[in-house]
Structure 1
Amino acid sequence: MADYQYIVVDEPLDRVRRITLNRPQKRNALSNALRSELFAALEAADTDAAVAVTIIRGAGPCFSAGYDLASDNRQNQPFHTAAGIGNWPRHVAEGCFRIWDLAKPVIGQVHGHCLAGGSELAAACDLVYVADDAMIGYPAVRSISPPDNQFYPWLMGMRGAMELMLTGDTMSGREAAASGFANRSFPADELEARTLDMAARVAKIPSDLQQINKRAVHRQMEAMGLRQGIRAGTEMQALAMYTESTQAWLAQLLQKGLKEALTSRDASFGDGRTATKPGA
């Protein structure tokens, strides 16, 4: 198995491979270096006859807080996406479809924060199991743009998606499961065992049949326009980057740094970095 710097790969059960995002000190921020390793590991599992299903989880206190805003996401992208306006949102959507189009099922195991790009990664998985107290959302709508991968309406319906898009609020794991974003939620201390239980059940079915089972569901979603809708959503994200509000926030980010920019963004909402700590 390959050596990795930003992920850890193991096999906790027979026919089950697990990929752990391993930048806990950065809340598993999705840099292009990490994403390159992630896609390589996913594709390696997809071509390994000994693997039937892959789990993605995060090390440390959360699944992923999103894309790495401290790095230039235009550099060293893990696969080629045509350049020009909208390169990044198109690149993100193409990455999600790379997971979508794998033959073998991928399971997202989500705990703690699962925000912005982290929620896009989870949404690309075939099955998603979350901790009851996970915090899932897309707070970037408050300062930058709608999602690069506009999956919320497809998973949650118009009303649930609209509320999240108009507030940037997060939902708990329980709410995510009730809304359709996730399959089920569990107490945090049961999440790993319950996810492995489900992976073992999925792994019982032969991979040549399972890939058709997976595609059968995907083709129905595509017939309803999911792939075209996600693609169209990338233009909305690109357009938002040119608004006066986004440009002002990006200028603040460059001038004052990420922590202060995020604090300013969330202060009036009382969540994110500005949330009141228990016992405070």
Structure 2
Amino acid sequence: MSVVETKIEDGIGWITLNRPKKLNALAAEVVAGARQAVADMEKNDDVKVIVLRGAEGNFSVGYDIAQEVEMGLARPEDWHAALSNNVGLSMAVFSCTKPTIGAVDGWCLAGACELAMACDMIIATDRAKFGEPEIRFGSGPVTLLMPFILGQKKTMELLLTGDTVDAATALEIGLVNRVVAPEDLEATVNTLAQKIALTPLVILRLTKTALVRAYEAMGLRTAVHANLDIAATLNAAEAPEKAQFQELVRTKGLREALNFRDERYGKLTV
């Protein structure tokens, strides 16, 4: 079973993050597979719209914390190399010259929230939950897209508290385009994608390129790369709570480490 599955139907390319037992956590092999899938569909003229989704009821809980701890990353330069791969996936989606849609069900957290935000549009189910809780375990956002989507005040609140928001709130603050019932997600996304796909590919490419360049002119790409440099240092920074969290991951597993986090901040509920 592949950790990233793809299919192409009627001009729509579907990319599915496929680690359901790990809530589709973005392990290094998932990041690599998804980035390759985006590149392949970018080059395939049979694909006019690309959809990203997660398998079995969740989009993704973000980057695989247990894998990162196991890798033993310590120096800023080590973190920079690892985080560059993660940023590379989100920015490949953002800068793709074909329209992209995030189909989000269930959890959409941390790096996965960034990946969804990198999509041009997001359709979410009414049970979807969004957030970037990295600060609660001594980390921070990797691909800093949220300020360009939500603005200063809500971004500050979400990134400094690590709080999550439900789908209705996500719609209210402009994080998603539409909220539907879980059973309607695929059909709604497909209808939107088919409507977009009526336009000739050359027109879609040029329009998308113009929109990407507009955001780049606002400083989005500069902000993302500046944050990457800071994130590498942040992840290497020493803090007692962070050290305890990582030690729990190593010795007792991620669940115990998350329980430690939840005792301090509260569970990720909305």
TM-score (norm 1): 0.87
In 2: Cα distance, 1:139 partner to 1:123 partner: 15
> Does the Cα contact within 8 Å between 2:110 and 2:134 map onto a contact in 1?
yes
In 1: Cα distance, 2:254 partner to 2:181 partner: 32
Structure 2: give runs of 5+ residues left out of the alignment.
72-76
Deviation at 1:160, TM superposition (A): 0.6
Alignment of 1:147-186 (within 5 A): 147-186=141-180
Alignment of 1:259-278 (within 5 A): 259-272=255-268
In 2: Cα distance, 1:30 partner to 1:64 partner: 7
Deviation at 1:183, TM superposition (A): 1.8
In 2: Cα distance, 1:249 partner to 1:238 partner: 18
Q: Letter of the aligned partner of 1:160 in structure 2? A: K
> Does the Cα contact within 8 Å between 1:133 and 1:174 map onto a contact in 2?
no
Compute the RMSD of aligned alpha carbons: 2.2
SS in 2 for 1:9: strand
In 2: Cα distance, 1:38 partner to 1:183 partner: 23
Q: Letter of the aligned partner of 2:13 in structure 1? A: R
SS in 1 for 2:246: helix
Who is 1:42 aligned against?
38
Q: Which moved more, 1:218-227 or 1:230-239?
A: 230-239
Alignment of 1:81-230 (within 5 A): 84=78, 86-230=80-224
Deviations 1:147-175 (A, max 9, x none): 01111111100111111112111111121
Deviations 1:196-255 (A, max 9, x none): 111001111111111111111111111111110111111232222213143342233223
Deviation at 1:90, TM superposition (A): 2.9
In 2: Cα distance, 1:254 partner to 1:84 partner: 19
Deviation at 1:74, TM superposition (A): 9.6
SS in 2 for 1:103: coil
In 2: Cα distance, 1:204 partner to 1:138 partner: 35
The reply on whether 1:234 has 2:228 as its aligned counterpart is: yes
The reply on whether 1:26 has 2:25 as its aligned counterpart is: no
Q: Percentage identity across aligned positions? A: 33
- Count residues in correspondence: 264
Deviation at 1:7, TM superposition (A): 2.0
The reply on whether 1:11 has 2:8 as its aligned counterpart is: yes
SS in 2 for 1:130: strand
Runs ≥4 residues deviating over 4 A: 72-75
The reply on whether 1:69 has 2:65 as its aligned counterpart is: yes
Who is 2:74 aligned against?
none
Structure 1: give runs of 5+ residues left out of the alignment.
76-82
Deviations 1:116-169 (A, max 9, x none): 111121111121111122111011211122201111111100111111112111
